[in-house]
Amino acid sequence: MKRFQLSATPFEIAPLRARLLHAEAGAYSSFEGWVRDHNDGRPVLGLRYEAYAALAEAEGERVLDEALARFDLAAAACVHRTGDLAIGDLAVWVGVSAAHRDATFEACRFVIDEVKRRVPIWKHERYADGDADWLHPDAGAPGETR
């Protein structure tokens, strides 16, 4: 099973966490990112994530490879939702295990930061005033030529 996955439907965390259990691991940390009801002072009704799936999965695997090597992890995984999400929905999950807790804390932060920075997943927020916007214009919207 791939360590980095995109999911068009809600997913369960428990089976993902179970994949991180290893005899050499004395610690586990995870990060959950949820859809919130505001951004930059604007009420948010929901959002949509779109991804260039093949490239996103490949780059996500590279991020996890780097984390495994850099933090001497036993295991690492990440799942990112795509499609329409409502307020409170789980949008992204990162989990890591290692011999010691410090490595897991640092690795979780590294993985989520690098996924947000490097993996081609775009967020389109819908606002209460009827407006909508792509949140990362530097990366360009899906289908947009740069």
The predicted model scores a pTM of 0.91
Residue 125 confidence class, pLDDT cut points 50, 70, 90: very high
Report whether pLDDT(72) > 80. Answer: yes
Nearby residues of 131 by Cβ (< 8 Å), 6 or more positions away: none
Q: Is the pLDDT of residue 136 over 70?
A: no
Instruction: Give percent of the chain above pLDDT 70.
Output: 92
Residue boundaries of the structural domains of the chain: 4-11+27-134
For the stretch 78-116, pLDDT in tens is 999 999 999 999 999 999 999 999 999 999 999 999 999
Cβ atoms < 10 Å from Cβ of 122: 21
Residues with Cβ within 8 Å of 94's Cβ and at least 6 positions away in sequence, in order, are: 30, 31, 76, 77, 78, 108, 111, 112, 115
Q: What is the architecture of the domain spanning 4-11+27-134?
A: Alpha-Beta Complex (3.90)
